[in-house]
């Protein structure tokens, strides 16, 4: 049974409709990003984005390791990123707050909907004083593709959060073997590389 609840989104949204997850462990494991939106982008910059979620055993935190390839990279080099959230309220496990100090301001993530062992819809919302609000959203799937009716159902939830569906792009999951990175390159260090979850202010 899925319970839905309203969670305050600070200034990002006055109210965000999330789901109350019965078990936080639902998110663990591998996911494919099949649709992607970012308010800072007018064209899709990435392909083959895949994510692996883990949870800390000693504190309420969720971490995501993800890989992606730039669409304009002829060599198809696979890059790696990481982000960690804390769950501020155990009674509202569908609301996460980014834990890294490098993310300035308010940066909330919400699980808007999900189907156990199948798909999920995430909304990311960041604000910093004096800067435009940043929104991004993923439709994630346990498989490389999702039925069109599911995609339509999930996309319809997003306009209420000021997401323009014209810029919610399908994410290709084909030809994703890619390179493992340049010799001596540590994919965990991406300070000079555009990062799909990095907010530029």
- Cα–Cα distance, 104 to 101 (Å, whole number): 7
Confidence at 201, pLDDT banded by 50, 70, 90: very low
pLDDT tens track for 114-153: 887 899 999 998 877 777 778 899 999 999 999 999 999 9
pLDDT at 94 over 60: yes
What is the distance between the terminal CA atoms of the chain, rounded to a whole angstrom? 40
Closest CA to 196 of 12, 35, 38: 38
What would the DSSP string read from start to end of 178-198? -B--STT--TT--TTS--TTP
pLDDT at 11 over 50: no
pLDDT at site 21: 52
Q: What is the pLDDT of residue 188?
A: 41
Residue 166: predicted pLDDT = 95
Is 80 exceeded by the pLDDT of residue 5? no
Residue 180 has pLDDT above 70, yes or no: no
pLDDT class for 98, splitting at 50, 70, 90? Answer: confident
Rg of the chain over Cα atoms, rounded to whole angstroms, equals 16
Assign a CATH topology to domain 3-170: Lipocalin (2.40.128)
pLDDT of residue 1: 32
Q: Is-contact 132 33, C-beta < 8 A? A: no
Q: Which residue has the higher pLDDT, 20 or 108?
A: 108
Every domain of the chain and the residues it spans:
3-170
How far is C-alpha 134 from the chain's CA centre?
Answer: 13
Contact 77, 71 (CB under 8 A): no
Digit-coded pLDDT (tens) for 42-67: 899 999 999 999 998 899 999 999 99
**pLDDT band of 184, cuts 50, 70, 90:** very low
Of the pLDDT bands very low, low, confident and very high (cuts 50, 70, 90), residue 194 is low
Give the residues across from 5 on adjacent strands: 18
Task: State the DSSP H helix or E strand holding residue 137, giving kind and residue range, or none if neither.
Answer: strand 134-141
């Amino acid at each position: 049974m899925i319970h839905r609840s309203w969670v305050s989104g600070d200034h990002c949204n006055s109210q965000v409709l999330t789901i109350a997850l019965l078990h936080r462990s639902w998110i663990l494991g591998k996911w494919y990003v099949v649709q992607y939106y970012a308010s800072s982008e007018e064209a899709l910059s990435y392909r083959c984005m895949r994510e692996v979620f883990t949870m800390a055993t000693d504190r309420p935190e969720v971490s995501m390791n993800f890989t992606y390839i730039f669409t304009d990279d002829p060599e198809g080099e696979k890059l790696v990123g990481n982000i960690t959230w804390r769950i501020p309220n155990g009674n509202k496990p569908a609301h996460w707050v980014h834990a890294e100090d490098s993310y300035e301001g308010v940066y909330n993530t919400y699980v808007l909907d999900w189907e156990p062992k199948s798909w999920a819809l995430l909304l990311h919302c960041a604000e910093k004083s004096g800067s435009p609000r940043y929104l991004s959203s993923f439709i994630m799937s346990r498989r490389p593709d999702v039925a069109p009716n599911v995609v339509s159902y999930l996309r319809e939830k997003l306009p209420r959060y000021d997401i323009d569906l014209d810029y919610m792009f399908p994410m290709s999951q084909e030809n994703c073997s890619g390179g493992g990175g340049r010799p001596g390159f540590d994919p965990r260090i991406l300070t000079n590389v555009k990062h799909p979850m990095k907010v530029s202010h």
